[in-house]
Structure formats: C-alpha cells, structure tokens
Structure 1
Amino acid sequence: MADDGMATTKGSIGEYYSAVQLRADRWTALRQTLEAAARHGPKARGAAKLAAKAEALLDSLTPIEAYWAFPGRAAFEHMRRQLAHGHLDDAAHLVRRAARALTSGAYRRRHIPLSIEDAEAEEMEDESTLSVEARALVRPYFEVLVVDDISEHQERWLRASLQRARRPEDAFVYEIVVVPSLEDALIGILFNHNIQAVIVRPGLRLKSENRLTVLTRYLNRVGEDEDVDALSPEDYGPELCRLVSKVRPELDAYLVTDRSVEDIAGMDLGHCRRVFYNQEDFLELHLNILRGVNSRYKTPFFTALKEYSKQPTGVFHAMPISRGKSISRSHWIQDMGAFYGPNIFLAETSATSGGLDSLLEPHGPIKKAQEYAARAFGAKQTFFATNGTSTCNKIVVQALVRPGDIVLVDRDCHKSHHYGMVLAGAEVVYLDSYPLSQYSMYGAVPLREIKHALLKLKAAGKLDRVRMLLLTNCTFDGIVYNVERVVEECLAIKRDLVFLWDEAWFAFARFGPTYRQRTAMAVANTLRQKLREPDYAKAHARHAKALEGADDEKLLETRLMAPPDARVRVYATQSTHKTLTSLRQGSMIHVNDQDFKGEVEQSFHEAYMTHTSTSPNYQIIASLDVGRRQVELEGFEMVQRQVEAAMSMRRAIATHPLLNKYFKLLTAGDMIPEAYRESGVQSYYSSSQGWTDIWESWASDEFVLDATRVTLAVGGTGWDGDTFKNAILMERHGIQINKTSRNTVLFMTNIGTTRSSVAYLIEVLVGVAKELDDRLDDASRMERLAFERRVKSLTEDLPPLPDFSRFHAAFRRDENSPEGDIRRAFFLAYDEKNCDYMPLDGEIDRVVRSGAEVVSASFVIPYPPGFPILVPGQVISEEILAFMRALDVSEIHGYRPDLGLRVFTDAALSIEAGAALRRAAE
C-alpha cells in the first residue's frame, strides 16, 4: 500500500488498516503538535519544525475531512488560517476542542463552537460526567450525504435551505456532507459511519479526485462486477441509488432528477425511498429524511414495555416479582432491588394484554418487532427466541425434517444439532471438516466433500430422501464458508435442498459489506434474483449441455450452476446475545424459504410452540428489539470498529519480537489449506507487505478467516490452552475468553471492544513473555529440559484428529450409503440391559484391534473442543481412542472415568441388526 507521502507523524498511512483509525490518530497528533508549538512560542527553537509538522498533518486530514460534517470545511479552513498567521494559541485551542469532541462524540449531542469568541464564552462541559438518563434525553445526531458537483456558494445555499426546514419538534438532528461524485459517495458511505441518508442530485460526476489509497480502496467493496465506467451521465444518479442499496442496504436514498417518470420507472433504484422531480421541496425532503430514520429507530415492543411499566396496575396473576412488590415489601432482599433498580421489575409481567403481546401468537408489538428484524437482517420472516440458539436449531430441524429424512450434518457442529437430529428422527450423514491436528481443532467441510456425499446418495437412489444440509458459519474458530457457492452447487444436484446455516457467532456480519456477502440471508436474496434473470437461464442451458454424461469426478471438479427452477430454501439461526446487543439467550431465526408459506409454515408454528416457553422473558424480547434498532442505525460503525480492533491486535502481536518468541498468531495460511484459498492470501498483515485488502479473498475463496477471531498458539509457553485461559488470563489479569484447544486460545473482538482493551491485552501478553524470559534465564538445566519437553508435547507430539468412523449396520438401512438412524440408537440406550461400560485401560483396544465392532451408546463431548467425538450408534475406532487418551481436559460429557465408555452389548446390536434387515426387506 502506498504511503501517500505522509510519514512525518506517528505511523505512516500505509500502516493503517482503517481510515477511521487514521483520522483519529491524525487529530490526536495535530492536537499534540499544536499544543507543543503553543507552549514553546513562535520564536522558540524548533518552532518552525513543529509548525511545518502541523501543516503537514492538516494537509493529510484535508481529503479525509471532506467526508465528514464535523468539524466541517469552514472550521477546518479557519484552523489552517490561524496556523498560517502564526496564531499558535488560537489554532491549538480550536484543534483541542475539535479533537476532544471527536474523541468523546460530544458533537453528536450538542453544538461545539469552533470560533475563538464562542469557544471562550462557553463553559466547558465534561461529557464523561453525563448520566445515562441525560444522554437519553439528547436528540440523536446523524449526517446526510448530498451528492452533487456544486460550488461553495451553492453548497451554502443548500445547507441553509435544509436548516430552515428544521422544527423544534424534530426527533433527530442532522448535518450534511456534500461530495461531488459517484465514487466519492461510495467512499463516504463506507468511511463515514454517521451517514444515515443519501441525497443524489442531478449534477454529480462519476470519478473522485481523491487519490488517498486508504480511502480509495473502499471502492473495492463495491465489487468487480460493477462496470460504472460504461454509464452515461444521466444514469449516474439512479446507478448510485442502486449501489448504495447494495453496499449499505440499511441507508435511505433519495433521488432528485429531471428525467421523465417513464425513464425512471423502469430502472433499478435499489431501496430508494423517494424520487423528487426537477427541484426538491426542502421541507418535504427534510420530513422524508426524518421519517426514514425514524422507521429504523422505532422499537415496537420495547416502547410498549416502557409504556406498560408506567401504568398503575393491580397484580392478580402469577409472578409476585411483577411491579417489584415482593421485593419492596421484603425485609431481606432489598439489596436485589437496589442492584437492579425499579424499572426491570415494573416491566416484569406475564400479561399479554395492556399494550403487550404474546410471543407464541404475536399480533401486536412483538409481531411488528419481528418484521423490523426481518428487514434489518434481509430475511422474509424472523422469529425471536428467548432460550438461546440451541432451541432455535431444534425448532428449525423439527419443523423441516420428518422421521426417515436424510440430513447432511457438519460433524463438529454444536451439540444442539445432534440432539435435534434425535428429536426429529433424521437419518444422519456426518460430513468431516478438514483437520488442523497441529492446533487440535477442525476447520470446515470442503465443498467437494459435500458434493461427494450428495452424489453418492444420488447413485444409491436416495436423493429424494435428502432433506437438509446443516453447516456452521462461521465456525467458533472463525472459518467462514463461501455460502453462495455451497448453496448454488448443492442445488445443482438437488434442486429443493433445504439449508440451515448456524450463524450463532455471525449475527454481526450482516452489517459489514465485506462480511455480508457470506451470510445466509444475503446469499438467499442474491440467488433468488439471479435465478430469475433470463441471461442466467441461457448460461445454465449451455452449462448443462457441456456436462451431459459427465461422471462424478467431472462433477466434483466443476463449479456447478443451480437450475433456474431451483427452490431457494435457506434458514439461519443467530445468537444475537453473542455478537450484538441483547440479554443472554436472546436469539433469532431468519427465514428465506420460497416454500415456507405453502409447505412449512404450519409445521414451523408447531415446532415453535413445542420448544418455546409459554412464559418468555419480556426483557429478552425487548433487548432483541433494541439490538435490532442499534444495528440498523449504527451496526456499520460498530462492526467497522470491531474489525479495526482485531486488526490492530493482529498487527501488534505479529510485529512484537518478544511475543513471537513464545506465541504464534495463526493466520489464514495456518488455518485454511492452500487448496481452499484461491486468492493466495496468507495473512491479513505482515511486516514486509503491510495490510492485505481482505475483499478479494472474501469474494472468491472457498474458505476465509473471520478477522475478528484472533487465535493464538500458546504451546511455546509450556502451558496448555485451558491452563493459559484460567490460570494466566482469568485469575491473574481478569481477561475472559470462551474457546481453547490443547495448545491455542481464541480472542474475539465484538462491537463493544475498545482500543484500550486491545492495548491491555497486548500489555498482559508482553508481561507473560517477559516473565517466561526471566524464569528461563534463572532456570537450572533440568528445569529448562522440563520446559522444553512440555513445549514439545504441546507443539509437536499432538494426536491426529479422528474423522467420523461410521454408523453400525444395526442403525443403517443398507451398506450402500452412510446415513444412520441416530434416534433409534439414542433411545435403545435408555434400557440399561442394552448397555455396558468399557474402561480405557487397554481392554477396549484389544477388542477393537481384534476386528470386533464396539459401538457408542451415548454422545461423548469433550470440552474443549465442545462437539461430539462419538454419537449414539457410532463404531468406535482406534483413532478415536487415541485421541481420547491424548485429551487433557477436565470435562468430557458422556464419559465416566470410573466406568469408562458406555457401549451397546453384542446382544442388543444383534437384535437391532435383525430388525434393520426386516425393515429393509419391507
């Protein structure tokens, strides 16, 4: 990446992954430089050098500030004039105010005067002292991007026209940013997270004059398939509206045009809310802008719950805690009331009337809240859940899968899916992910493996029974599928296959343009549109003709096209509480199924009723409603900052020599085999090449690595992952993480992660490395050898990860395909006489090596990694036994150390095998 000629301050431009971080650091550097210059005075030694540095910083900020409303062009030029005239005190004062307002966000809450007279007259207010209640009373602030190539005089007129339309009763306040071109508009909406609406006027041009690399690379996010250079000038406006909808679908766009109604009517304007002809009515435009933002700001259920809490009611139903009565009347639990405050109890009820609604049969504010969530996440229907994504997974499986249906399942998916298969009576084909044995973790299931399983079932005459493909996207460790390719190629083999994508850890992805393209709902909408296009039908006809008579190997090697009449049937389950704002166990089910209304709706309703409590927690539902509001209005900003924090962490770890001595930052090259990285991207940052623009790999590769998951190999410290997590991070430093493997720990940034949090983590890791250095420096020869042996056992002597073996013949219909009836095996184990225990002391090895089949009677789930290494009905292999012995975890569900593995008796297997043969004959 080019440095763009700016290396006079802390960090060159090329060192920044994000233009937002660059902007923040440049303002801080400018403030520090001008304060130093003001302290020393204009005649002091080095004053000229400081002034030149400040001028260079202003120059570097000039193209950046063109995309932001605060501090604004006039104030920015005023600062430059103060510096040019040698008024260092005044310049430093103005820059300090602007920088402080940018850091604290104060400009969003009140007017920040940036003229000397106004600034001196105003009392300084410390924004950090404002209470939550005080901030809640401030009208929310946003910015509107106006796209038009106009003069400064015309811009002032436009700004004044919109300001005159403001009214005291307006719910929001906004400022405008004016840019001249289509490219500048795209840079602006991807750079400035304050923008909530775009006004496209007829005078815009195509190209930007900005050549700052850190900004112009945002244009990559638009996609290589967009040929804007071929547009005629009259099409710039409508095309920009479409591109805004593609890149940031949550934004409102307004088109001002002088073209005829007939010309505009046939054009794709994306989500354009309103077209104004010839000359906009500024009051009407102003009202439309506020109305558009308000449509996203509304929280139907949260608002209803707040109103309910204000009502004086008599409680003559369940829940003594309702209205807080059982607490306020107590002599012993007043501390609970003091801790939580009154509102949570005033809003606690089991009533579904009084302005509230029923989660099981929503007709009011919950129904409306779910509709808003569907809009936000790109779904056709969205359903709230208050007991986690585990329940969501079971609801979807039970609604869609009938006993005897075949389901292809990612073997290392969350345990709720395996139990869901039991409840639904599915016959399961387990798919193996590629192993990363050196880090004791799995990656994801290669597309070739999925296609091979489908083609094998087709050859066995069982494709009609194949119902669903179930995959985890993204995995806990951050491996993300090419969702569009998986769906399209699988539909080419089975045109009505249902897809369930477990996006428990990926709800945030909808609100980052790079990430969105790999989400289930975005892909479903893209494919539904693609399959309807006439050109696609022609391309598919040519494709089908070229593959006539092709064997399986040819089909496995070819990128397949779904037939135009394929049915797009996609479901996603998301743990909103894991990656967005929601109380614990708040989750959502998103549906984009062309056959939902005709085939699934009734069964889905029954499954939802089966698994959803009749007494759902209203606070969780309200938090889902508010969390949706947040991501529609500031999800783009928060995800942007989340990725920035992770990238900063990656760079800090990768470039620190002491950390590299004991830790290894796992890159895309470490976690994704080369065969699945068509782009060739090895890492997101290297000291030799700088930052990699991840868009290319996310657009093309079979698998990519979620940048917000930072996996650190800790085997070089001599501590295993679990010990490092608990004894070092948590007990000593209060750092909490979720996931470890035998020799790795996983750090996840989220929408609440700050740069300070990242700095603290790096400080802790450096402290650990220094401690190890000191300990080894004083170690005896035997202590050093012991350390080296521990390191070797954690970095070299690692057992290979076992693949799924197979289901025993007693739980399969025949020998021709791998599906197994996990439900029969599960319930067969309910009878104790069908089961026995075999200890891991060598006896089981002798039996397995003799050729006898030992079959698991239960799920066996070690933590970590947290997924079943054995399921009911699975034949136990030597590789699985070796892996279990190598595990040094303290928690293995389904395994009793005092007894051993629970297995089926030979007699039980023999009876079941005979029953299976009789069923096959029938």
Structure 2
Amino acid sequence: MTKAQNTPIIEALKKYINDRTIRFHMPGHKGGQITNNAVIDFLGSRVFEADVTNVPGMDDLHQTHGVIKEAQELAARTFGADATYFLINGSSCGLQALVMAACNPGDKILVPRNIHRSILSGIILSGAVPVFFMPEYDQDFAIPLGVTPTTIANSLAGHPDVKAVMLVNPTYHGITSDLSTIAKIVHRHNVPLLVDEAHGPHLYFHEDLPKSALDSGADATVHGTHKMLAAFTQASMLHVKGDRINRQRLEASLRLLQSTSTSYLLLASLDGARAQIAEQGRQLVDKTLDLARYLRGKIKEIPGFRVFGEEKIGQPGVLGLDLTKVTVSVRDLKVTGFWAEQWLREKHHIQVEMSNVFNLLLLLTFGNWRSDVDYMLKALNELSEHVRQNPKLMKRYSPLPAVNLLPVIPEPVLTPREAFWAQSVATPLQQSVGRVCAEVITCYPPGIPVICPGERITSEIVEYLSLMRAMGVHFQGCYDGSMENVLVVK
C-alpha cells in the first residue's frame, strides 16, 4: 500500500469495531444493538457500529494528535496545501471560520454579490463590514459569471483599508475567474485571498479542468468534498497555503463553530474520498469529462435546449469552465426551469441539481455512468417533444419575464451584524419598501442573498421577490418562507 492509499481514520474505526468493545459511552444506539428501530432496520447495523465518539485511539478533531492529524496531513499533501482541516459542519463552517480568522469587528471584506449565505453568516459572526461588488453576468443564460481582475483592482483602490478578499471560484455553474492575476493584485495590497471553492475539489486532478485556487495563488480555500467527490453530505475540507492566514485564530474559530460531537462517519468518508482521489483522481475525472462532453453534445441536438459551453470562454468573467457542470437553458421552449425540473422528477424519477426561471443545472461526477446520461437524454427528448406538442403549455409561460437573476445591490444602512441584533418586526412584503431589512433572504439553491441584513428594501427588490414567489422559488434563511412577510428593523 502506498502512502496515498493509507486511510488512518478508517483503519482506526475497523480496529475499534473488530475489538468488539463493550460500549458504556455515547452514542445511545451502542453500535446498532437497539432492536425495533426503524432506521437501523432500514440502514443496517454496520453504519451504527462505525458511529463512535472520540474514544481512545480515535483522536480528537478539536485537538488533533493521532489518526485525524495523519489524515489531514495526507489531505494537505494531496491538494497541495500547507495545512488541511476536516470539516463536519459542511463548507459553511469553513467559510465562516475564514472570515472570522481574517477580520476583526469593523474590518472591511471585499466580496462578490453571488456569495453563499454562509459567508454572510461569517460576516455577521465576525462583525466585519462587507464591501459588495457585482460579478459579471450573462444575460442570455441569466446566470452570474466570474469576476475580472479590473473589478478587483478598482474595488481595492476604492477601499484600500480592506482586510481580506473572498471570491467564489468556480461558481455554481462551473465558471472560473482569472484567479492567478487576481491573486497578484490582492497580494500587492498585502491582504489574503480567500476562495469558496466548494464546487471545485476535483479541479486539482485534471489538466482539462480550470486551474485550482491554491495553484492560482489563493491563501485559503474551502472544498465541499461531498459535492463533487465521494464523501458524505456535510463533509468538507479547508486548505491553507502560505502565512497570510493566522492559523491560531483560524483553528480557534473552527473550534468555536464545529460540533464537539464529532461524526466519525463524516471523518471516515473524508479519509476515504481523499485516498480515492489521490490514487485515481485523473482517471476518475477523465471518465467524468468524457461523459460531460457526450451529454453536452447530445443535448445541443435536442430542439429547444441550449447549453452554456466553451464558446463563452474569453468573455469578461469567464476564464475557464468546468464541463462537469452542465447548464441547460429551457428558455426557447417557453417553459421555466422549475417546471422542467418537476416534470423530469415526476415523469422519469430524475432529480437535477437545481433549476431557476430559465435553466436546469445537471451535475456530473465519477458516480455517474453512461446509462445515467443516456436515460437523461431520453427524458430530455421526451420533454422537448411534450412541450412542442402542447402549445397551451408554451402559451402559459410565454412571454417569460426579462428578469436579472442577480438584483442590483441595495443601499447599506447598517452593518449585517448591527441589523441582525437590532429589534425587528415582521411586516408584509408589499409594505416593506424603504425599511431596513433585518434578515438574509436567499433563493435556494444556490443560496445567493437577494438582500442582506442592514440593506434598504427597494421597490425593485419587492418586485423581484414577488416574481420569484410566483415562479415557485424556494426561499431560505428568512423568517417567513412564503415571503408574505419580511423582518425589518424597528
């Protein structure tokens, strides 16, 4: 066995189970020995046998010295980091910890408007002040793109006291920015470049994919290992390179944010996912790229569908594209992405990654096979034919609204932290114009804030939220998920 194939956490779990230890410790299921339990009957006892706590020999995520430390060091070597931290509270806690490590209360952090709401949570927790800027935008597909070096340079020139820059790369749709140039600009200002790379842990393993964050000069990046690799949901990693990040403060922030009841199922899945990608990464990604290219080519042949493709590379904010994220426009069919998603689920038991007004997002990993892709193509052909043979359906959704899915940034009145802690009151959405928002409102997925705490609600925001509600969008992070009411500062 090579060093890369080592799985220290998994081996420690095996030993603990094989020792047949009599458990007078948590968790209460005692390794699945409870009978007449629906979830044990459903999943089997093996998963419960591996669900242990930090008993001797299993190390401690909050003070690593043994198998977790070894597994994290192997991960750092795999991804080219100086240090890696395993995350059991998802990518969200890693992003929050980075903001808390980089910013004191009152410090400015430069962030694009298409950040995930977890970054905004980190801003609230840290007391940092966000300086928002708009990423580039593709009007044709109605999706946010990456950012240009010029935008970053101009933003830093206007706010020379910024303490950190956080970018999203790749975007949810697989679009990457010119991180190498941006890193040089950011570092000239002597501040760290932090990257939400939750959707890009596989970028490190194939030359046909865009360049990864650490290879581009980023100081820290967060991976949603569960999103694109073979870890359990909520299992992620945080990687640091160089000395611009205060490691002591970062580790303290992680101890503050991560559960003290560590899930060894999540840790073991990180250990196994790392070993797999270290040994077979290029081969696995190569297979996935072949499937993605095949799927993209065939979808283009189906009437009514268009695919966001490599022809977009070179326009502002698009240095590269991860082909495994397949953005399919249904706009020409004159139906919404929401409707198309529901139709695929109900008629063919296919679940896409996400939909919005105009698009479907199909996410491919090495867990997909040619049979999956062929079945999807069959379903999309049927969807196209069904819509084109039902003009009443097309009339129902025609004309689709000409809406920018990334609204204009509202006026900041309070910092997000000030607004979060302020006294608030619920008010009907239609009567909220001019009031200061006291909550974060996001359309989910992908979780990009429409309005943040401390920003003034405008008529355009109300109109946008009303339209999204009428379209059937799912709202998250807010007091009233129906979007009838919003929380505003008293």
Mapped contact 1:411–1:432 kept (Cα < 8 A): yes
Report whether the alignment pairs 1:839 with 2:445. no
Instruction: Determine which structure has more spread, i.e. the larger CA radius of gyration.
Output: 1
Q: Tell me the TM-score normalized by structure 1.
A: 0.51
Residues 363 and 827 of structure 1: is their aligned pair in 2 closer, same or farther, counting only changes over 3 Å?
same
Residues 669 and 889 of structure 1: is their aligned pair in 2 closer, same or farther, counting only changes over 3 Å?
farther
Alignment partners' CA distance in 2, 1:375 and 1:468:
26
Structure 2: which 5+ runs fail to align? none
User: If each structure's helix is expressed as a fraction of its own residues, which one has the higher value?
Assistant: 1
Q: In the alignment, which residue of structure 1 is the partner of 2:75?
A: 373
Q: What per-residue deviation string (whole Å, max 9, x for no partner) do you get for residues 515-538 of structure 1?
A: 3x62122223xxxxxxxxxxxxxx
Report whether the alignment pairs 1:881 with 2:462. yes
Q: In the alignment, which residue of structure 1 is the partner of 2:257?
A: 611
Instruction: Find the residue that maps to 1:637 and give its secondary structure.
Output: helix
1:708 deviates by 0.9
Residues 864 and 339 of structure 1: is their aligned pair in 2 closer, same or farther, counting only changes over 3 Å?
closer
Mapped contact 2:443–2:474 kept (Cα < 8 A): yes
Q: In the alignment, which residue of structure 1 is the partner of 2:440?
A: 859
1:504 deviates by 0.8
Mapped contact 1:586–1:620 kept (Cα < 8 A): yes
1:317 deviates by 1.9
Alignment partners' CA distance in 2, 1:800 and 1:752:
31
Q: In the alignment, which residue of structure 1 is the partner of 2:231?
A: 582
1:859 deviates by 1.2
Mapped contact 1:472–1:503 kept (Cα < 8 A): yes
Q: In the alignment, which residue of structure 2 is the partner of 1:320?
A: 28
1:748 deviates by 1.1
Report whether the alignment pairs 1:805 with 2:410. yes
Q: In the alignment, which residue of structure 1 is the partner of 2:475?
A: 892
Mapped contact 2:93–2:254 kept (Cα < 8 A): no
Mapped contact 2:116–2:446 kept (Cα < 8 A): no
Q: In the alignment, which residue of structure 2 is the partner of 1:722?
A: 338
Residues 895 and 789 of structure 1: is their aligned pair in 2 closer, same or farther, counting only changes over 3 Å?
farther
Alignment partners' CA distance in 2, 1:372 and 1:479:
28
1:807 deviates by 0.7
Alignment partners' CA distance in 1, 2:314 and 2:395:
28
Mapped contact 2:148–2:178 kept (Cα < 8 A): no
Structure possessing the higher relative contact order (Cα contacts under 8 Å, 6 or more residues apart): 2
Report whether the alignment pairs 1:480 with 2:198. no
Report whether the alignment pairs 1:793 with 2:399. yes
1:382 deviates by 0.3
Task: From 822, 827, 830, give the equivalent of 2:416.
Answer: 822
Alignment partners' CA distance in 2, 1:615 and 1:895:
28
Q: What per-residue deviation string (whole Å, max 9, x for no partner) do you get for residues 807-844 of structure 1?
A: 12xx3xxxxxxxxx22112211xx24xx462432xx55
The one-letter code sitting in structure 2 at the alignment partner of 1:804 is I
Q: In the alignment, which residue of structure 1 is the partner of 2:159?
A: 457
Aligned counterparts, 1:35-114, within 5 A:
none
Q: In the alignment, which residue of structure 2 is the partner of 1:349?
A: 52
Report whether the alignment pairs 1:652 with 2:345. no
Report whether the alignment pairs 1:708 with 2:416. no
Residues 730 and 767 of structure 1: is their aligned pair in 2 closer, same or farther, counting only changes over 3 Å?
same
Structure 1: which 5+ runs fail to align? 1-292, 525-568, 677-701, 777-783, 812-820, 906-922
Task: From 235, 243, 247, give the equivalent of 1:594.
Answer: 243
Residues 861 and 504 of structure 1: is their aligned pair in 2 closer, same or farther, counting only changes over 3 Å?
same
Report whether the alignment pairs 1:621 with 2:263. no
Q: What per-residue deviation string (whole Å, max 9, x for no partner) do you get for residues 657-699 of structure 1?
A: xx12x222223445x67345xxxxxxxxxxxxxxxxxxxxxxx
Q: In the alignment, which residue of structure 2 is the partner of 1:521?
A: 214
Q: What per-residue deviation string (whole Å, max 9, x for no partner) do you get for residues 237-264 of structure 1?
A: xxxxxxxxxxxxxxxxxxxxxxxxxxxx
Residues 839 and 878 of structure 1: is their aligned pair in 2 closer, same or farther, counting only changes over 3 Å?
closer
1:864 deviates by 4.9
Q: In the alignment, which residue of structure 2 is the partner of 1:664?
A: 306
1:882 deviates by 3.1
Q: Tell me the TM-score normalized by structure 2.
A: 0.93
Task: From 356, 360, 378, give the equivalent of 2:62.
Answer: 360
Between the aligned residues of both structures, percent identity stands at 28
Count of matched residue pairs: 486
1:790 deviates by 3.8
Residues 742 and 315 of structure 1: is their aligned pair in 2 closer, same or farther, counting only changes over 3 Å?
same
Alignment partners' CA distance in 2, 1:673 and 1:522:
20
Mapped contact 1:741–1:865 kept (Cα < 8 A): no
Residues 454 and 713 of structure 1: is their aligned pair in 2 closer, same or farther, counting only changes over 3 Å?
same
Residues 518 and 859 of structure 1: is their aligned pair in 2 closer, same or farther, counting only changes over 3 Å?
same
Q: In the alignment, which residue of structure 2 is the partner of 1:269?
A: none
The one-letter code sitting in structure 1 at the alignment partner of 2:126 is A
Mapped contact 2:174–2:322 kept (Cα < 8 A): yes
Q: In the alignment, which residue of structure 1 is the partner of 2:372?
A: 757
Residues 509 and 320 of structure 1: is their aligned pair in 2 closer, same or farther, counting only changes over 3 Å?
same
Q: In the alignment, which residue of structure 1 is the partner of 2:2?
A: 294
The one-letter code sitting in structure 1 at the alignment partner of 2:256 is T
1:338 deviates by 4.8
Alignment partners' CA distance in 2, 1:903 and 1:397:
25
